[in-house]
Structure 1
Amino acid sequence: MTIYSIDLDPVSLKLDASVGHIADLTIRDGERLLSPLHRAPWVDDPAAEFPAGTAPNVKRLSGDFLCAPFGRNDIENAPSHGWSANSVWDHVETLRQDDRLTVAFRLQRRVMGATVEKRIMLVAGHPFVYQQHSFTGGAGAISAAHHVMVHMENGGDLTFSPKHGARTPSEALEMDPSRGRSILAYPAQSTDLTEFPLANGGFADLTRYPPGQNHEDFLTLVEAAEVKDARVKDVGVEDTRSEAPVHSLGWTVVSRKAEQDHVIVLKQPGVLPVTMLWMSNGGRNYAPWSGRHAGVLGIEDARASPLGHADSCGENEFTRSGVPTCFDLGSERKIIIRQVIGACAASPRAGKLIDVSEQDGMLIKRFDTGETRSLNYAADYLTG
């Protein structure tokens, strides 16, 4: 295990280069030190036991990592979520320029023949981690996702950029009651995030977490879109699509109750058109989960199908509605994916968060009380 520390006030970050996971993230807001990301309880437990065949990404499950492909790896011989989440990243360079610090890493293994690089950038005075992954060369197609994990001691509220709706896959994560429990209906869908069908009747409000007790669930949110017949150019890739996002900034904000903070995840909706939510709330009984992995929400911004690499590369329920689920690789092509993670303290007087936008080099949070808060933010990072 090799840990790299990357620090530039107000952000302190540690990368577990043995698997490419963010092992720890601390963000200072005034006198408060915020810890927005989750680290599985068994990672630092020397007595932890793992069933045979447990993937490294589960053994060292932390913070955020790149999935390439997302989920089942049924084209290339590699563990679930790909070598990008399960093998070594080498440090390439550290660059300091003006108020910015950038640290670059390269995955030792290739993914579908492509070279994969990770660039983490911190900006002085910004409460954000700016993260870029790139695929150079290769052949075929690859799905990809960021696997951000947030822990909530006593739940919280969720706010999203405009979504077309939510849907669960054909089968629940836990079908065998002896191994675990899921509570959402499978398959199901809803255009109202406050009313998603439950397996036993009734509805779950997806804007509040958790929706129940002792459950393991998964669903996909699709960005709100408008019909377009023109070609749309994403960063590093060009597609013909029937639909394009109606907004330029994709976001998820977790307003944690006990922690009294806001965890912010930003994306390019045209590049990563879906947000998958993994609700891990004590619903798995077997090791290493053993009912102790609770209060965790995975926010997985992606260009992927939840059913794995092969499904992502073919026609599926998303592509049939104009939502791309993979990137096409090529010897003369470079795919670039950017994402931003941040956090700030919450004010009890501010009310409920209702909107996030960018303006004049700031990220603006708006609340239902009419209050706003501005955060230092490099707006050109996702739009440039």
Structure 2
Amino acid sequence: MTKPIYIHGSGSISIQPTHEPGYRFEAVKAYAQNPVPACDPDYKSLIPALQLRRMNKSMRMAIFASRLALQEAGKETVDAVITGTGLGCLSDSERFVETVLANEHELLNPTPFIQSTHNMAAAAIALSLGCKGYNMTYVNNASAFASALLDAGIYLAEHPDHTVLLGGVDELGARTPRFWELAGYLKHDNPVIPTPLAASSSPGEIAAEGASFFVASQQPTSQTLGKVIAGDTCYETADAVAFVNRFLRRYGLAAGDIDAVVLGYNGDIRYDAVYSTVGSTLFAALPHIGFKHIFGEYDTVAGAALHLALRLLGQQDIPQQLLLNGIRPRSLRRILIYTQRRGTNHGLILVEKEG
């Protein structure tokens, strides 16, 4: 990312009531199940009922979250839509495959197939806004949101007077979690949200869903929530500490220049050690903030982490539910987000308070 991008509006749907105005992450919804569906808002308040009937879950979440972001930014439309998704419109994908099998490849309803494509959420947003500009969807597993963020930076560098709607969305299906269970991805031992990270001694994650969208440009405004200084991603790394260090040095920073670090602990004993190593080696004196223990795990949950970081920069406080090591910040100016999933798709996002 050659230049910072400024975030003017942020909207999020998750398994927490992040869609509610003024939500500050102090009251966290608890769940004792796996997977966990999103906490649905009143979609009809922002999406016409006739349109809503034709939308799958990904489209509903994406359009609602994007309109929350636009409202906060004071915008009615944008010049480009850039999204990331791990599995796309999963429910319609499942429905189409089930119909293929049931009807033996004949007399198929094309609607689930049309709405199952990964770029359907971005297309639905563009149609709802009348945006005929650049429209791109990245499908890179747990790096999908980071890829969309990097592309937004490139686009805005080339079009400095434009505004971009950037986001990530993933939904749960009815059948796919059964395959995750067979693969050993899901947690069975005490699958609860908030996940007790300190006491976790079992493998598996708690699967969830959500959508987070942001209105971004290269120029600050009076509505600016913060700016993304940089982002980076890599599929695998043998040394996460070196990966984070290289990232900081690339932008002329040291660990001491960061005020807090957001770490993607999710309670899976097989992979959480990487966060402990990075936190204790580079950021031992800084507040450690968790987010997956309240949001669950899905491919574009990094978008929810960015939404959280922007809110924390605004309120200049870290709720007790999110603080992992008990260290309170003197102030919050720079927050580093570090996440990975199942040992791969490592991602970094550096967020800074404007002004």
TM-score normalised over the length of structure 1:
0.27
TM-score normalised over the length of structure 2:
0.29
Q: More helix by proportion, 1 or 2?
A: 2
- Of structures 1 and 2, the one with the larger relative CO (CA 8 A, separation 6+) is 2
